[in-house]
Amino acid sequence: MSAGGAQFRPRLQARRTLGWLFAAVCVLFSLTSLLVLGVLLVEVFRVGWPALSWTFIRNLPSVLFPEQAGIWTALIGSIWTVAITALAAIPLGIGAAVYLEEYAPRNWLTNAISINIANLAGVPSIVYGILGLAIFVRWLEFDRSVLSGGLTLALLVLPVIIIASREALAAVPDSVRQAAYAVGATRWQTIRHHVLPAALPGIITGVILALSRAVGEAAPLIMIGALAYVTSVPGGSFEGYDHSLAGVWSWLRDAMLADFSAMPIQIYNWTDAPQKEFHVLAAAGIIVLLGGLLTMNAVAVGIRAWRQVHRTW
């Protein structure tokens, strides 16, 4: 090829057409995932909607009579589990994030902790299940209880909460901290009264997204031995307990150590059953589960959008 003006052909028209085609392909590919999401939702609703009713939500699961089976134990089990997860993971996760963003010196230890957290976020959820089985179920003898499940899921979502909270804390400008220090606040006073409130919306968004992940997880709960067929709800009845603080305490203890089910487990069980009637129940269960998750997601995204409008810095 010889260089020179005579050989230079811009071919602008062809290049633009090619560019236009490429853009079209990109749009098409981008739409694929939305299309799949749409098909998935339509399919689940088509199959599951007729089975969805108040009885379905309030009834206990049944091996023999699919028409009478319900998701109540799984629904309440999921709520218990995620409550325990939240109680354990939120303070620990935010605490770790505050340490890493506000206190930690830049040294090898901090660096190692950060790398470790990034890698923990990539550990498969089933491995956390194995950890929970060995630590909570066998070693601490919590058995296959809501407590074991909730704590296992807490370990699973901790890295997610830490990473999101760190991002929110890092986004608070240093001028906020310097202003507090300038009027004599200590490090903790600065963080408590100024940095944390400013970062809170971001943290809440991250926490909600992490918890919604916990609600949908089935694999770790299967590992620690959650059941699909439990006949009672953890803490479902207050009968036989003292109406005193001690009574409430022993009720809570028994509830936390009770056998439990969770919605993803119940859905898995119904999907895995050979009879068609159970597949319908699985679809109905998925509608309930997705309804809960999408509400959580919408709240999280809403808080973030609100934040972007009402930013104070």
Partner 1 sequence: MARILRKLREGGIHAALLGCALLSVATTIGIVWVLLRESLGFFSDVPLREFLFRLEWAPELGGKYGVWPLVCGTMLVAGGGLLLAIPIGVATALYLSEYAPHWLRQLGKPIMEVLAGIPTVVYGYFALMFITPNIIRPLYPEADVFNAASAAIVVGIMIIPTIASLCDDAFRAVPRALRDGAYALSATKLEVSTRVVFPAALSGVVAAILLGLGRAIGETMAVAIAAGMTPKVTANPFTSIQTMTGYIVQVSLGDTPQGSMAYRTIFVIGFTLFLMTLGINLVANYVLGRLREKYE
Contact set for partner 1, span 63-102 (CB under 8 A) = 91-93, 95-96, 98-100
Q: Does the protein bind partner 1 through residue 19 (CB under 8 A)? A: yes
Q: Which stretch binds partner 1 (CB under 8 A): 61-69, 74-82, 229-237, 291-299?
A: 291-299
Q: Does the protein bind partner 1 through residue 185 (CB under 8 A)? A: no
User: Of 206 and 255, which has the nearer Cβ to partner 1?
Assistant: 206
Amino acid (1-letter code) at residue 24:
A
Q: Does the protein bind partner 1 through residue 43 (CB under 8 A)? A: yes
Residue 217 DSSP code: -
Exactly one of 207, 264, 278, 284 binds partner 1 (CB under 8 A); which one?
Answer: 264
Q: Which stretch binds partner 1 (CB under 8 A): 78-86, 233-241, 248-256, 286-294?
A: 286-294
Q: Does the protein bind partner 1 through residue 257 (CB under 8 A)? A: no
Q: How many CB atoms lie within 10 A of CB 140?
A: 12
Q: What does the alpha-carbon distance between residue 45 and residue 7 come to, in Å, rounded to a whole number? A: 61
For residues 184 and 117, the answer to whether their CB atoms sit within 8 Å is no
User: Of 198 and 255, which has the nearer Cβ to partner 1?
Assistant: 198
For residues 27 and 259, the answer to whether their CB atoms sit within 8 Å is no
CB of 133 vs partner 1, minimal distance in Å:
8
Q: Does the protein bind partner 1 through residue 40 (CB under 8 A)? A: yes
Exactly one of 140, 272, 275, 311 binds partner 1 (CB under 8 A); which one?
Answer: 272
Exactly one of 2, 7, 32, 312 binds partner 1 (CB under 8 A); which one?
Answer: 32
Read off the tokens for 18: 């090619």
What is the DSSP track for 124-185?
A: -HHHHHHHHIIIIIIIS---SBHHHHHHHHHHHHHHHHHHHHHHHHHTS-HHHHHHHHHTT-
Q: Does the protein bind partner 1 through residue 203 (CB under 8 A)? A: no
Q: Which stretch binds partner 1 (CB under 8 A): 18-26, 51-59, 174-182, 235-243?
A: 18-26
Read off the tokens for 33: 């995932």
Q: What does the alpha-carbon distance between residue 306 and residue 283 come to, in Å, rounded to a whole number? A: 34
Q: Does the protein bind partner 1 through residue 248 (CB under 8 A)? A: no
3-state class of 96 per DSSP?
helix
